[in-house]
Amino acid sequence: MGSRWQWMMILINFLLIGATILMVEPMVAMDGVPLGTNSRWIVNQNGQRVKLACVNWVSHLDAVVAEGLSKKPVNEISKEIKSMGFNCVRLTWPTLLTTDDNISNLKVRQSLENHGLRNFIDGFQSNNPTILDLSLIQAFQAVVKSLENNDVMVILDNHITKPGWCCSNTDGDGFFGDQYFDPNLWVTGLTKMATLFKGVPNVVGMSLRNELRGPKQNENDWYRYMVQGAEAVHAANPDVLVIFSGLNFAINLSFIFKRPLNLSFKEKLVFEAHRYSFTDGQAWANENPNKVCRQVTQNLKDTSGYLVDQGYPLIMSEFGGDLRGTNVNDNRYLNCFIAYAAELDLDWALWTLQGSYYIRQGDVEHEEVYGLLNLNWTQVRNIGFLHRITSLQLPFQGPGIIQGEPYKLIFHPLTGLCVIGEFSEKQPLKLGQCFSSDGWHYTPQNILLRKGTNECIKVVSEGKPATLSTSCSGDDSKWDMISDSKLHLSSKTYMGSNVCLDVDGNNNIVTNACKCLSQDKSCDPANQWFKIIDSGKRSIQSSSTLSRTYMKPLIST
């Protein structure tokens, strides 16, 4: 008996140690699937918020195979997605992949050959030999499986009917009833895809259709067909979130407000919207960024952002820009968009992963300058941009996420960092990782108080570091949100001149003359842009390997 008891104790100890080890492991993205919704939040089975931080990965172009498989083993690509901090991929597919046997049953090798892409076959053979002789539909499944093996969730996005680059107003594939957009075929395609991935745990959502558009688009047909598509998906696979995009290239969902959807299912309905700089032409480059940011933010709220206040989750399922960093229009738009995405704490999918395409619009090995990876898929194109979106990959708010009192973060969209208090006596305020901020309170008197202290942010003088002080009654410790964008935090020196919070070259928080508040079109105020956002002590600080990514930038060769 005695020795059996001893063994039992050893076993119990072993189990306890095991449990402790498990508790300190980073959260597994796929824990608690299938996902559902609770008001505006996407949640897991434990009711805890799951913030979808996705990257788009294209599989809908001419050859209908996920891009990059001639460059790298699929498992390495999946691992990199995970190590870059994404917990999810928006994987695109054309309807004909499931409705046309000549496409679904075609071998990858043959599909490449048919499109004159023989040059990619050697690379494919050495990197993904087991996929090359699969059919296109099996290859698609193999990519999803590889993502599952690496704990990456998937949204299946019905992108277009016929394989090929998307989207224009005149491509005949933009709205129900267009030449290539038969609603019945679409419902059949969605049903087949939903059925194929029934029970596959990492497939957490299906996006009904990408960027509806064109002369035929109208609200009535949108309701009629989108409800049909949604009900078909739900009937075939009740475990997936059903994701609706609006009119005008997935910009316009403004009509949901007056006419809610009537669906047979609950807690699975999610909306998605897209936004790029070019949605507003060259406005960002040609006009004052504070003014354009105000207009675009208002437009985003009116056309889709308002939905979160109505109790619906919203995924910004395409946004991005030229990651070479040379496009002024894109750069200015991203500064504003990142502030908006942080403020609303939206789920999102960056456009895009692929650094190149096998073929796009007739151009073989077309480079994708919006791609996180470079032309050869060997390196991250812009590691600074990746660091910048790191803070958006984690939830700032949501059920099961915040422990204790909520507080504010002072977020700097240009860097993706937050204002952190008390680094040293001399330089008490710096930019740092948002998750290491103790948090702030923004009082009704516009004082920025460091949480748990009576210290506030105070002006010393123009051109000098701002400081933390316990004497917080003067105008030099009141911070107003000014300019059209309301993204400048402005205060006064003791002499009464206006200054704005700013950042110097060493990430110290300083105060400088306020920049390009209005009129000026040539200057870029983004270094002075801060957004005070809602957050709190977060229980999730490592839903991925991203902190490791941050310390050791991923450059794979």
Ligand X SMILES: *[C@@H]1O[C@H](CO)[C@@H](O)[C@H](O)[C@H]1NC(C)=O
The distance of closest approach from Cβ of residue 429 to ligand X in the complex, given in angstroms and rounded to an integer, is 40
Query: Could you say whether residue 507 binds ligand X (CB under 6 A)?
Result: no
Residues 311-340, mask of contacts with ligand X (x by CB under 6 A): ------------------------------
Residue from the set 95, 161, 303, 391 that interacts with ligand X by CB under 6 A: 303
- Residue 252 or 491: the one with the smaller Cβ distance to ligand X is 252
**Judged by CB, which is closer to ligand X: 322, or 502?**
322
Name which position in 38, 125, 141, 248 contacts ligand X (CB under 6 A): 248
Residue 482 bridge partners (DSSP): 488
Among 180, 223, 255, 442, binds ligand X (CB under 6 A): 255
CB-based contact 60:126 (threshold 8 Å): no
Pair 234, 205: CB distance under 8 Å: no
The only residue of 141, 279, 295, 376 in contact with ligand X, by rule CB under 6 A: 376
The residue length of the chain stands at: 557
Of the candidates 192, 252, 247, 185, the one whose C-alpha atom is nearest the C-alpha of residue 221 is: 247
User: What's the Cα-to-Cα distance from 233 to each of 33, 120, 237, rounded to whole Å?
Assistant: 17, 35, 6
The DSSP letter of residue 365 is: E
Q: Judged by CB, which is closer to ligand X: 378, or 497? A: 378
Size of the site for ligand X (CB under 6 A): 13
Which tokens in the block code for residue 138? 């099996």
Q: Which is nearer to ligand X, 54 or 316 (CB)?
A: 316
Smaller CB separation from ligand X, 138 or 248: 248
> Mask of contacts with ligand X, 213-232, x by CB under 6 A?
------x-------------
* H or E element in which residue 75 lies: helix 74-83
Pick the stretch among 254-262, 392-400, 420-428, 535-543 that binds ligand X (CB under 6 A). 254-262
3-state secondary structure of 418: strand
CB of 136 to ligand X, least distance (A): 14
Are the CB atoms for 144 and 200 separated by under 8 Å?
A: yes
Residue span 90-119 as binding mask against ligand X, x where in contact by CB under 6 A, dash where not:
----------x-x-----------------
Can residue 247 be called a binding residue for ligand X (CB under 6 A)? yes
Residue 338 CB, shortest distance to ligand X, in Å, is: 22
Look at the block and give the residue holding tokens 């306020």.
Answer: 514
Find the part of the chain contacting ligand X (CB under 6 A) among 144-152, 208-216, 244-252, 356-364: 244-252
Q: Give per-residue burial for 529-544: e unless 16+ CB within 10 Å, then b.
A: bbbbbebbbbebeebb
176 three-state secondary structure: coil
Neighbours of 182 (CB within 10 A): 16
Name which position in 121, 167, 185, 375 contacts ligand X (CB under 6 A). Answer: 375
Signed CA dihedral, 245, 246, 252, 257: sign only: negative
C-alpha distances out from residue 530 to 151, 275, 286, 342, Å: 34, 21, 22, 11
Interface positions with ligand X (CB under 6 A): 100, 102, 219, 247-248, 252, 254-255, 262, 303, 375-376, 378
